[in-house]
Chain A
Amino acid sequence: MGFEKFGRKSFTAITKTAKFVDLLVEGKVEGTVCKDCGAKFFPPRADCAKCLSKNMDWFEVPKKGTLETFTTAYYAPFGFETDPPYTMGVVDFGDGLKLFARLAKEIKLEDVKVGMAVTTRPLKYDDGQISFEIVKA
Chain B
Amino acid sequence: MEKEVAVIGVGQSSFVRGYEGSIRELAFEAFREAMKDAGVTQKDIGASVFCSAPEYDKQRSPAGVLAEYLGLIPQPTFYIETVCSSSSTGVKVGYSMIKAGLHDVVCIVGFQKMSEITSAESQERMGRGADIQWEAPFGTMMPAYYALYAQAYMAKNGLTHDDLMSVRLKSATYGVVNERAVYRKGVKAADFDASNPEAKMAGPVAWPLRVGDCCANADGSSCIILANKEKAKAFSKKPIWVVGIGAASEAVNMAARPDFAKGLSVGYGAAAQAYKMAGITASDVKVAEVHDCFTIAEIMAYEGLGFAPMGEGKQLIREKATYKEGRIPVNVDGGLLSKGHPIGATGGSQIRTIVLQLRGEAGPMQVAGDPGIGLVHNVGGVGLYGNVTIFGR
A residues neighboring B (CB under 8 Å): 3, 6-12, 15, 42-43, 68-81, 83, 86, 88-90, 98-102, 114-115, 131
Contact = CB atoms under 8 A, between A and B. Distances in A.
A68 B137 CA distance: 20
Contacts of B131: 43
Contact of A100 (B121, B123, B253): B253
Given A71-B147, A74-B207, A131-B137, 5 more contacts: A43-B134, A71-B151, A74-B203, A77-B140, A79-B124
Contacts of B118: 78
26 contacts: A3-B133, A8-B138, A8-B139, A9-B139, A10-B137, A42-B255, A43-B253, A43-B255, A69-B149, A69-B155, A70-B151, A71-B144, A71-B147, A71-B206, A75-B123, A75-B205, A76-B120, A76-B139, A76-B141, A78-B120, A78-B124, A88-B138, A90-B254, A98-B254, A102-B139, A114-B151
A102 B138 contact: yes
Contact of B206 (A12, A72, A78, A131): A72
Contact of B260 (A68, A74, A76, A102): A68
Interface residues of B, number: 42
Contact of B136 (A11, A71, A75, A98): A11
A94 to B, nearest CB: 13
Nearest to A93: B255
B120 A12 contact: no
Contact of B120 (A10, A70, A77): A77
A33 to B, nearest CB: 15
A98 B257 contact: yes
B177 interface: no
B340 interface: no
Query: Chain B interface secondary structure, helix, strand, loop or mixed?
Result: helix
B152 interface: yes
A118 B261 CA distance: 19
A73 to B, nearest CB: 5
Contacts of B155: 69, 114-115
A131 B134 CA distance: 10
B65 interface: no
B135 interface: yes
Interface in B115-165: 118, 120-121, 123-124, 126-128, 131-141, 143-144, 147-152, 155
B204 interface: yes
Nearest to B132: A11
A70 B148 contact: yes
| Most chain B CB within a 10 A radius of its CB, from A3, A6, A7, A102 | A7
B144 A88 contact: yes
B389 to A, nearest CB: 29
Given A76-B139, A78-B118, A90 B134 contact: no
Contacts of B253: 43, 100
Nearest to B135: A100
The 6 nearest A-B residue pairs measured at CB: A7-B137, A71-B147, A69-B152, A77-B124, A80-B139, A78-B124
B207 A71 contact: yes
Nearest to A113: B155
Contacts of B257: 90, 98
Contacts of A102: 138-139
**Which of B121, B137, B150, B257 neighbours the largest number of chain A CB atoms within 10 Å of its CB?**
B137
